[in-house]
Amino acid sequence: MLVALVAVLAVPEARAVEDPFRKGSFLAGIQGGILPGFGSTVYGDYVLADLGKGHFTVGGQIGINRRVPGSWAIFSSKTNSKLNLLSLTARATYGLNLSSKLELHGGALIGVGFTPNEYKFTPGLAWGGLLGLRFFFTDNLALSFEPQYANYGTCVNLGLAFRF
């Protein structure tokens, strides 16, 4: 009996393969973007539901961009040769787990964008969409590619994503 008990305790526990985006987990990312200017984005997503091979997240995003006036950005500034934009948006995404290492996601953004107007920043509605890929090198670290279109400009983002 003692031998059987020791044998059971000594055998490593078998674990089922977990959904990489289980309900309650959190994703965070930092990205740099180009086209038609440059900028950076920080985001956080909370997994509300795991749906078999997919998952639904809600979160937020902060973006700071330096755009070239007259390019794809709708806003313009008569006083600045370059255009600075700050956006604070909510985001919702649906992700599809293509494998344990690769995830495809798409989503929507809505919030407020601030553009320079003489000596102050003027708020306005910011909205858009995104389509992205994350390739996980480890269980918690991924390379992120996420093109975004928004009414304040388009950006192709590349960065790192962290899963908690």
> Which region, left, alpha or beta, applies to residue 24 given φ > 0 means left and ψ of -120 to 50 means alpha?
left
Q: Is 3 helix (H, G, I), strand (E, B) or coil?
A: helix
Can you tell me the distance from the alpha carbon of 76 to that of 92, in angstroms, rounded to the nearest whole number?
Answer: 28
In a domain, 25, yes or no: no
Can you tell me the distance from the alpha carbon of 152 to that of 89, in angstroms, rounded to the nearest whole number?
Answer: 12
In a domain, 82, yes or no: yes
In a domain, 131, yes or no: yes
Q: Is 7 helix (H, G, I), strand (E, B) or coil?
A: helix
> What helix, strand, coil percent values describe the chain, rounded to 5?
5, 65, 30
In a domain, 23, yes or no: no
Can you tell me the distance from the alpha carbon of 72 to that of 159, in angstroms, rounded to the nearest whole number?
Answer: 22
In the numeric block, the tokens 């787990």 are attached to: 97
Can you tell me the distance from the alpha carbon of 18 to that of 39, in angstroms, rounded to the nearest whole number?
Answer: 35
Residue 51's domain spans which residues? 40-163
In a domain, 141, yes or no: yes
Whether the predicted pLDDT of 72 surpasses 70: no
In a domain, 4, yes or no: no
What is the tens place of the pLDDT at every residue in 137-159?
Answer: 999 999 999 999 887 767 889 99
Mean pLDDT confidence for 25-49: 90
In the numeric block, the tokens 């755009």 are attached to: 67
Residue 16 Cα to chain centre, angstroms: 28
Q: In the structure, what pLDDT confidence band is assigned to residue 49 with cuts at 50, 70 and 90?
A: very high
Mean pLDDT confidence for 19-47: 88
In a domain, 14, yes or no: no
- Phi and psi at 2, nearest 5°, equal -65, -40
Residues 6 or more apart whose Cβ sits within 8 Å of residue 18: none
In a domain, 153, yes or no: yes
CATH number of the domain enclosing 48: 2.40.160.20
The predicted structure's pLDDT at residue 70? 54
The predicted structure's pLDDT at residue 78? 46
What is the tens place of the pLDDT at every residue in 102-149?
Answer: 999 999 999 998 877 777 778 889 899 999 999 999 999 999 999 998
Query: What's the structural domain count of the chain?
Result: 1
Q: Are strands 83-97 and 26-34 parallel, antiparallel or unpaired?
A: unpaired
